[in-house]
Structure 1
């Protein structure tokens, strides 16, 4: 299935069941590419005859480092207010995060773009794996990074489903993530792991802990900002992602 065909089916997570999500998730072209790469990289790691201990260390390191990398990117890049201030990067910022905060339940803009996510995973995991285990380490490091990315994407999607999870853990991370979207976007940057939010003092466990933010839905791209830096607004004209000034009650 092509991306255009997949997107035309309009997957709105708040109107979907878990079974609907599973079907939409595994038919998404980006996820299919990730999974094919994962298996190919695992085969490469095996045929490269890397030491099993080194490969295990690489996997553990990737799993431990990934939440920190996500936190830094989410807080300082995706929520940074500098990408929309340049015509060269406005479209990128709009696609990678602004659209998601404007339409949190639209699965098409929830997924990270393959052209931006995959290079990031490569840069973060392959060199790290290579330093530990050579070619096989680089391959298994990238494979681990891709698999963790798939896990994050699925958990992220599930947090936007219109149902209460039976698992206490899933219910808790859903609550924290919904607060990030609809109450105050300057905290709770994690998806499945909020350790770094706690470490960097951006964690809040209840809406009463921090004031409601008027920019939770527009990430600071208000009407006044749109007048100064019009490129995101121009790209949003006539779409469902036109800038909004304040979070909806």
Structure 2
């Protein structure tokens, strides 16, 4: 067990800009969060089957509803929570915001901060999908089926997110396009292209942009608005980081 999780527990920082696809697959497959999601997905699936006797196809409707709702839920959380400014303005939530999104934008290639922390992802998944699955799927079997589907989709999202930051050009035209749009969000203008695997919600909310030239370069793509002036007013994130916020990528040899 210690050998399996050793690199992650040792605080190693994986640089997606220097990793191969094979190295990513190995690191991804060894991540404790992915193992946790997989185990819980299996448990939820078993419960859905055990509780689903006589429920017919309703638990499958919960799975379908989860797949349809997931892109919208991700968009709303990403845009209105992760990119909001109220979290860093309170000492009670500054550390949370730093971990779940600020660190990722400060250095988009760090694999160790790309993965969501289960302490935040799991409560969110359960809070959204248990009521949705219960309502659509006809009770506890539907709730379990929705949670199982949500955990599987989370694993897929996490891997796609990794690919988007990996120094690798996907063969799939669809994956290449997803990567281009996501990298524009990180390196050009953070106020758009909030999706990961789908940008239909961005189109619906008017935050989609197909080319960088469609928007001016944002000064906050790396600091999410938490610049040096904000750090002076709300110092908690900067204190945790140990350095002023950056407004550009780290140069070669520069401490992240």
In the alignment, does 2:49 pair up with 1:46? yes
Task: Identify the range of structure 1 (173-182 vs 124-133) with the bigger mean alpha-carbon deviation.
Answer: 124-133
Q: What is the CA-CA distance between 1:86 and the residue it aligns to? A: 0.4
Q: What is the CA-CA distance between 1:52 and the residue it aligns to? A: 3.7
CA contact (8 A) 1:104 1:160 kept: yes
State the partner residue of 2:129. 125
User: Structure 1 residues 247 and 103 mapped into 2: Cα distance closer, same or farther (>3 Å)?
Assistant: closer
State the partner residue of 2:216. 211
State the partner residue of 1:26. 29
Q: Find the partner of 2:76 among 54, 72, 78.
A: 72
State the partner residue of 1:158. 163
Report SS of the residue matched to 2:60. Answer: helix
Between the aligned partners of 1:177 and 1:10, the Cα distance in structure 2 is 22
Q: What is the CA-CA distance between 1:103 and the residue it aligns to? A: 1.0
Q: Find the partner of 1:143 among 124, 137, 148.
A: 148
Q: Find the partner of 1:36 among 34, 39, 59.
A: 39
Q: What is the CA-CA distance between 1:82 and the residue it aligns to? A: 0.8
State the partner residue of 2:177. 172
Report SS of the residue matched to 1:13. Answer: coil
Report SS of the residue matched to 2:40. Answer: helix
User: Structure 1 residues 189 and 83 mapped into 2: Cα distance closer, same or farther (>3 Å)?
Assistant: same
Between the aligned partners of 1:38 and 1:5, the Cα distance in structure 2 is 25
Q: Find the partner of 1:87 among 80, 83, 91.
A: 91
State the partner residue of 1:221. 226
Report SS of the residue matched to 2:57. Answer: helix
Q: What is the CA-CA distance between 1:248 and the residue it aligns to? A: 7.2
State the partner residue of 2:254. none
Q: What is the CA-CA distance between 1:4 and the residue it aligns to? A: 6.7
CA contact (8 A) 1:90 1:232 kept: yes
User: Structure 1 residues 88 and 154 mapped into 2: Cα distance closer, same or farther (>3 Å)?
Assistant: same
What TM-score results when the alignment is normalised by the length of structure 2? 0.92
Between the aligned partners of 1:100 and 1:117, the Cα distance in structure 2 is 15
**Structure 1 portions without partners, runs of 5+:** none
Q: What is the CA-CA distance between 1:235 and the residue it aligns to? A: 0.2
State the partner residue of 2:246. 244
Number of aligned residue pairs: 246
CA contact (8 A) 1:215 1:247 kept: no
Between the aligned partners of 2:218 and 2:78, the Cα distance in structure 1 is 17
Between the aligned partners of 1:26 and 1:246, the Cα distance in structure 2 is 31
Between the aligned partners of 2:6 and 2:202, the Cα distance in structure 1 is 36
User: Structure 1 residues 248 and 235 mapped into 2: Cα distance closer, same or farther (>3 Å)?
Assistant: closer
What TM-score results when the alignment is normalised by the length of structure 1? 0.95
**Structure 2 portions without partners, runs of 5+:** 252-256
Between the aligned partners of 1:246 and 1:212, the Cα distance in structure 2 is 12
CA contact (8 A) 1:184 1:213 kept: yes
1:80-115 Cα shifts (integer Å, max 9, x gaps): 011000000000000000000011011110001110
